[in-house]
Amino acid sequence: MHRAAEVVIREIVGGSVGTGEFLKQLAEISMKGNEYSLSDKARWEATMSHFQQEFSGFDGERSVFFVAEREEKVVGFARASVHPGRPRQWWLNGLEVLQEHRGAGVGTRLTRARIKALSKRKVGSIWAHIRKSNIPSLVVAHKVGLRILTDEAETITGKHDDSGRFWFLRMELPGA
């Protein structure tokens, strides 16, 4: 296992997205996280196209994006995005760490970085929607201060979800 101290967390800000090689690294992590084979050409192209679209004209206004890098290679990424039409509510909606770097605090650091960035904006609450079976993700969310909503009235949709497989989690930012 790699030590968390060797990993650097960096925010991607408008205009600093970098090269196609960078997007390829993100796509690779995303593919592996979803357990798709890297030789699945159609899936690879769809994933690359997703990231190309995400970063075309990226200005960090409606979403923030962080990467975890080790020796200048991306080993994880995390995103948060504004809820459509509700500028004070933001979602933690993307967190992936390469399998061989998990369990060393990288996911927690990426999540703390997102929350710190949002706490500097006029954000009222931060939300997450996490599969109940995803223990590592629930542990990370809990460590940084998100709490599972057991009362459906508190959720953003007024219900947990149709399948019952996910939790809504929320944290209010100080001064909200």
Ligand X SMILES: CC(C)(COP(=O)(O)OP(=O)(O)OC[C@H]1O[C@@H](n2cnc3c(N)ncnc32)[C@H](O)[C@@H]1OP(=O)(O)O)[C@@H](O)C(=O)NCCC(=O)NCCS
Per CB under 6 A, residues contacting ligand X are: 33, 95-97, 102-108, 130, 134-137, 139-140
Q: Least distance to ligand X from the beta carbon of 57, Å?
A: 26
Q: Least distance to ligand X from the beta carbon of 9, Å?
A: 11
Q: What does the alpha-carbon distance between residue 10 and residue 16 come to, in Å, rounded to a whole number?
A: 11
Closer Cβ to ligand X, 6 or 122, answer by number: 6
Q: What does the alpha-carbon distance between residue 36 and residue 34 come to, in Å, rounded to a whole number?
A: 6
- What is the token pair recorded at 40? 């699945």
Which residue is at the shortest CB distance from ligand X? 107
Task: Give burial (CB, 10 Å; 0-12/13-18/19+) of 158.
Answer: exposed
Q: Do 128 and 92 meet the contact criterion of CB atoms below 8 Å apart? A: yes
Q: Least distance to ligand X from the beta carbon of 101, Å?
A: 6
Q: Least distance to ligand X from the beta carbon of 168, Å?
A: 12
Closer Cβ to ligand X, 45 or 100, answer by number: 100
